[in-house]
Amino acid sequence: MTPELLAPAGSPEALRAAVESGADAVYLGWGAFNARRGAQNFSEEEFAQSLAYCRIRGVRVFLTLNILLSDRELPAALETARTASRLGVDAVLVQDWGLFALLRAALPDLPLHASTQMSLFTSGGASEIAGDGCRRVVLARECSREETADICRNCPAEIETFVHGALCMCYSGQCAFSALVGGRSGNRGRCAQPCRLPYGVNEAAKNQRPLSLKDSCLASCLSEMAEAGTACLKIEGRMRRPSYVAAVTEIYARLLRENRGPTAEEQDTLERAFSRSGFTDAYWRGRKGPEMLGFRPENAAAPAAPASPRREKGRVPVRFRCRVKAELPCALTAEDEDGRAVTVSGPVPEAARTRPLTEEDLIARLGKTGGTPYLCRRAEAVVEPGLSLSASAVNALRRDALEALSAARAAPPKRRELDPPPLPEADCAADEPAFTVSVTTAAQLTGGLLDFRPARVYVPLELAANFPSLPQADTEWCAVLPRVWRDRDEDLLRRWLEKVRDLGVTGLLLGNLGHFPLVREGGWRLYGDYGLNVFNSRSLAYLGEKGLSSACLSFELRFSQIRDMRKLLPAEAIVYGRLPLMITENCLIQNSVGCRCDRPNVLNDRTGAAFPLLPAFGHRTEVENCRPLYLADRPDYRRLGLAFARLRFTTETPEECVRVFRAYRQHAAPEGEFTRGLYLRGVE
């Protein structure tokens, strides 16, 4: 089956360009809650007009509500979705768990799609959200052909994959670089793209761009994507111009229609539309490496995108049946391929004075649908002999029929609207939080650290699985599951889980939706990590239903937002440590200086700031902030109702870990460079 072609529509002009160029569906932002808030987007009037325009032409429209939302924003986001549903939007893309649960309950007939911002890249994660009522899952861009095929086979929902456009170095939904460095959150649709700037790995920043990837182009892989089971191919680019949308959409529509790869001329057109040092298909091919890197110089000329949209393509086939009888108003029925049929009437025909109207004449006149969204595929006519009907009357009859058919096609489906369900009555707020500790190395687990008796100690699963035993301590031992993995890794993860259970680990820290089906039946105590992006009370309720006993809140929240959040689960916040900026499929160290992941490595920016690079499971990289978060001297975090306050140790020596824990016990003032994070200033 040919996949649906989904094109970006950052403006009404781009939407028309996409539709005229052969898109089967478009995705757009309307209102304040979407991941491309810098795009022109749509006014309410433009949104309603665009929905009608697309519905008439058989093009589906998906609304992006794919950002994290605070408790105060959820009611407005729900109203946005209500209005869109009433107008006939075909689906809504969502990132936030709380909004997902709210829409599923309040608008049960509105199809929901899991945005790539949900960070889904395994069969378990995709199936988990599908089981909660999600119709389609947009996979992480990093998934290969084989991985995508496995997920398509195992997930009951449709699978959507990106086919063309910009690639982020970080997994979507897991990037805090823009937020922590500049206060503009990618999770809130305000990414400033610091990844496109120069950096140096273990040296001063020069003209290297180790975080900037080429755009993806899978034009030569379309048959493979269809064979893998992909239901929808998505072109990235809501920030791009209409000419870009037209050029790229037209080529992909043609390739799908003709079931072939691109010619050299078509490939050149794609590159002239926009590229960064060319294109890459590496992730789809299961590869990674420095050959994926690319950028556009700051003084690069504006891209030239020759657009030649096939305006006849995509016109709606229609069938006419007309009756012209004496002494009766003439009648015309117009029917589309979906079975919608409308009938209109016109004047009573007169007796012919000269040449009478024939069935052939009438059929020829009815077929003149140029300048409309319709294409006459067949016309039938019954004309009694000796009658006359003017050409203008036939034209008016045809026009009235097509207008009535357009109204029928544009009519939104009827969907239920229910009251939002109330939040549970649970109150898990604490008077003051207990400290938890996460470590990165075995050396950090000293007796001096454990003497502080943290409520929990979080240890990476791959590290704990190699311990001969756990230190004796008055604490709960918890294993941290890898934030990124693949289906093929799950047998190894299960073996490690059995190993750490035997050592005495009783809790697991989950940072991805795909962790739940992996561990749910194991009898573990389950806790949520920051990778789940918990931003509101309804997210806590949703994750609590899934079995979490507590959850770490997003570190992009302000103190006031944390304070006002209903603590439907015991809530945790990171209060010390280098906050994670990125997790990348590419090993940044390997790409730049070769394999030396067993030694300290840093990413240097143009200001001289050094961001530690830590190896992550699967030969991936986690980029840490250049300065540690420090709150020991601030009483604020102790008054928010948090149950747990985490000290996150990454690059610290064993002695520094002990010193930091002691400082938090004593509410000591900071020493050296530090940051207050986003808790005071918040994010856009």
Closest-CA residue to 641 (of 553, 513, 542, 516)? 553
φ/ψ region of 94 (left if φ > 0, alpha if ψ in -120 to 50, else beta) reads beta
523: left (phi over 0), alpha (psi -120 to 50) or beta: left
Q: pLDDT-based confidence at 598, cuts 50/70/90?
A: confident
Name the E strands within 392-540: 434-438, 456-460, 476-480, 507-510, 525-528
For 75-87, give the DSSP string: HHHHHHHHHHHHH
> How many C-beta atoms lie closer than 10 Å to residue 545's C-beta?
12
Length of the chain: 684
User: By C-alpha distance, which of 558, 557, 563, 536 is closest to 640?
Assistant: 563
The pLDDT tens digits of the residues spanning 153-172 come to 999 999 999 999 999 999 99
Tell which phi-psi region holds residue 504, choosing left (phi > 0), alpha (psi between -120 and 50) or beta. left
Asked whether 654 and 446 are in contact (CB, 8 A), the reply is: yes
What is the tens place of the pLDDT at every residue in 662-675? 999 999 999 999 99
Highest mean pLDDT among 266-280, 350-364, 488-502: 488-502
Interval 253-293: pLDDT, tens: 999 999 999 999 999 999 999 988 899 999 999 999 999 99
Residue 348: strand, helix, or coil: coil
Residue 184 identity:
R
Assign 388 to helix, strand or coil: strand
Q: Is 558 exposed, middle or buried (0-12, 13-18, 19+ CB in 10 A)?
A: middle
The tokens 């103190």 sit on which residue? 559
Exposure of 45 in the CB half-sphere (CA atoms within 13 A): 0
Digit-coded pLDDT (tens) for 31-65: 888 866 666 678 889 999 999 999 999 999 999 99
Longest dimension (CA), the chain: 110
Query: Do 97 and 539 contact (CB within 8 A), yes or no?
Result: yes
Residues whose CB falls within 8 Å of the CB of residue 282, separated by 6 or more in sequence, listed in order = 288, 289, 291, 292
Residue 315: predicted pLDDT: 84
Question: How large is the C-alpha radius of gyration of the chain?
Answer: 29
Entry pTM? 0.95
**Token pair 């357009």 in the structure block, residue:** 406
CA distance 647 to 665: 12
Tens digits of residue pLDDT in 637-653:
999 999 999 999 999 99
Residue type, 95: Q
